[in-house]
Structure 1
């Protein structure tokens, strides 16, 4: 979905379009929330939309998308992954039951941090809901943390778009650059942690 389509939908359908687009952005990460939210902020200056109404609509869209992915994670479940361990593909990937149990335990201990802060990271804000469901992270805790994280992210971008006015595209560029840097840093950290974990496991063996 291109930027012009996003802008047209919000301009024509207001809050309903915001809810739908943000929900879709949570399920399909390539759809940029930065465009949706900064343009929405700008529209609060020129249309019937209000800043608080836009924040509520975007946060509702965020949580609907998050719950959908959480449900997908519950369908996959740790039990189904455990069954996958014994398959040929599981053996090829060197997947072990102990690894699955360790990952599930880690998420239930540290998942609150990942769920909350993950809402500020591109792609991660969508994907984090799936392991939360797989690990059977408490549903209402997941919802509350997701709402808090999403509301902060949405508020910042909508207010930025409103304050920038006609220069909202300039602000959008700043956010897109910052989001790209954050995503790169997160990927590097994940790779480093994975390598360290692998080396530690090799030493034990």
Structure 2
């Protein structure tokens, strides 16, 4: 951000979307802090980070589209405890809730990036995907950039709260996986000796 300004913040967010271990919860408040110091403009930070979010999301959408439904189904059948009926239910769920999933998914840690892949696999219309990504990303980015802007030197405080949110999401995902596995193992036909 120091050398590239708001464009650099956008580039960092594009990379973060493709490689989620880079935390937007650090990049965005830092961009807000930089805007507060006058190193870049607040609107420039919001614009470029949202543009970066769209670029990163589009890359993953295209990856999902390239992977395609048939190839994804062939991969899933090799995963233990998962069968095609699970894929069918997921596809049906995405058909019913795809718009909400993409819009809200852009505001949930971990899912921010990954929601683009099923949108591509399911061939959500690109224009609709981009509009939903724009709205969700703009909200997420604006909240974190404004937090960094308003907190100034204390911009790192945002990360502590974001970490709590991320751990809650991780705990919910882990609990859901455990419930899924337990149910699947219980419902599996037992072999007769």
Q: Same fold (TM over 0.5)?
A: yes
1:64 alignment partner in structure 2:
55
Q: 1 CA distance for matches of 2:173 and 2:46? A: 26
1:16 aligns with 2:16: no
Aligned residues: 189
Q: Flag structure 1 segments of 5+ consecutive residues without an equivalent.
A: 1-9
1:101 aligns with 2:88: yes
SS at match of 2:26: helix
Q: 1 CA distance for matches of 2:74 and 2:176? A: 29
1:39 alignment partner in structure 2:
30
- Give the direction of change, closer, same or farther, for the CA distance of 1:153–1:197 in structure 2 (3 Å limit): farther
SS at match of 2:37: coil
Normalising to structure 1: TM-score of the pair?
Answer: 0.81
2:133 alignment partner in structure 1:
146
Residue 134 (structure 1) aligned to one of 121, 126, 134? 121
Please report how far the alpha carbon of residue 97 of structure 1 lies from its aligned counterpart in structure 2 after TM superposition.
4.1
Q: Say what the alpha-carbon RMSD is for the aligned residues.
A: 2.4
1:120 alignment partner in structure 2:
107
Please report how far the alpha carbon of residue 180 of structure 1 lies from its aligned counterpart in structure 2 after TM superposition.
2.4
| Cα deviation digits, residues 110-156 of structure 1 (max 9, x gap) | 12222122122222111111111111122222111111111111000
| Cα deviation digits, residues 58-95 of structure 1 (max 9, x gap) | 1000010001000000111112234457xxxx367365
Please report how far the alpha carbon of residue 99 of structure 1 lies from its aligned counterpart in structure 2 after TM superposition.
3.6
In the alignment, is the contact (CA less than 8 A) between 1:71 and 1:133 conserved in 2? Answer: yes
Q: 2 CA distance for matches of 1:136 and 1:198? A: 29
SS at match of 1:44: helix
1:169 alignment partner in structure 2:
156
Residue 110 (structure 1) aligned to one of 84, 93, 97? 97
Q: Flag structure 2 segments of 5+ consecutive residues without an equivalent.
A: none
1:198 alignment partner in structure 2:
184
Normalising to structure 2: TM-score of the pair?
Answer: 0.85
Q: 2 CA distance for matches of 1:199 and 1:117? A: 31
Residue 44 (structure 2) aligned to one of 45, 53, 58? 53
Higher deviation after alignment, 173-182 or 114-123: 173-182
- Give the direction of change, closer, same or farther, for the CA distance of 1:21–1:105 in structure 2 (3 Å limit): same
